Structure 1
Amino acid sequence: MAFDDLLAEVMSTADRFGHRQHIHLTWLAVRRYGTGAAVTLVSDGIRRTARYAGAPQKYHATVSRAWVELVGYHAAEHTGDDFDAFVDGNPALLDKRLLTRFYRSSTLAAPEAKAGWVEPDLRPIPG
């Protein structure tokens, strides 16, 4: 599966899967498959991984899609092949709280946001 291949590539140089690795995996997916396909690929992969880990409640549909869209937007502006250069040029992507610029916490906490896509309620995601 494409998600598993991307995950293996990211983890070949990491000892744990943290936020930076999530952004790296998303960046690879966006570059190789485009943002639209990456939304599905990353979301399905995270959902499957959470379910396999016995924690399906950790999957959050809106958060997953929003991150892919943010990475996709910035990846379109950065044509290089180096992930480190990409995040150096877009340091906000390494801030786990970045989505609070677009969403109220109450919006992200709602069951509807966990189960499916909810539009940002503070300002639109660029794109």
Structure 2
Amino acid sequence: MTDLEFIDALESGELLPEQFNHAAHIRAACIYLRHQPFLDAAVSMRNALQAFTARIGKDGLYHETLTLALMSIVADRLERFEGNDWQAFLMANPDLSERTLLNSYYRPETLGSDLARQRLVLERRGE
């Protein structure tokens, strides 16, 4: 499936839950960020994720802080990456596959909070 077919499937509801794992999240982020300015890409990602979680009956699964933090990290890394292959990008940035990536930016209790799910929360580690 091409990148645009993948995004169409995500946005139209044709993508199955088992097809949307963590690597697929990174793929979607890469696609949106390559085709839109950062803020537009972040809104597109939020809209796609919220619609996806609603479709699968898990409205409360969407997490604003995780989404925006991950989009920021991916955008930063894409700036320095040569090429358009999201799989090569992921291989060049293996820490993006680690679910603990944001632990160096946030305390677990902050990420687990309802506030962080609803809006972007910034946190300085060590405080």
TM-score with structure 1 length normalisation? Answer: 0.82
CA shift, 1:4, in A, is 8.1
Alpha-carbon distance between aligned partners in 2 of 1:118 and 1:101, rounded to the nearest angstrom: 14
- Structure 1 moving runs of 4+ over 3 Å: none
Partner of 1:8: 9
TM-score normalized with structure 2 length: 0.82
- 1:39-82 deviation line (CA, Å, top 9, x unaligned): 11101111121122221111111111111111111011113111
CA contact (8 A) 1:104 1:121 kept: no
Question: Which of 72, 76, 91 lines up with 1:73 in the alignment?
Answer: 76
Please give the secondary structure, in 2, of the residue aligned with 1:120.
coil
2:55 to 25, 46, 52: 52
Report the identity percentage. 24
1:25 matched to 2:28? The reply is: yes
Give 1:35 shift: 2.0
Q: Is the 8 A contact 1:7 1:25 kept in 2?
A: no
Paired residue for 1:82, among 76, 81, 85?
85
Structure 1, unpaired ranges of 5+: none
CA-based RMSD of the aligned residues comes to: 2.4
Mapped partners of 2:32, 2:96: distance in 1:
15
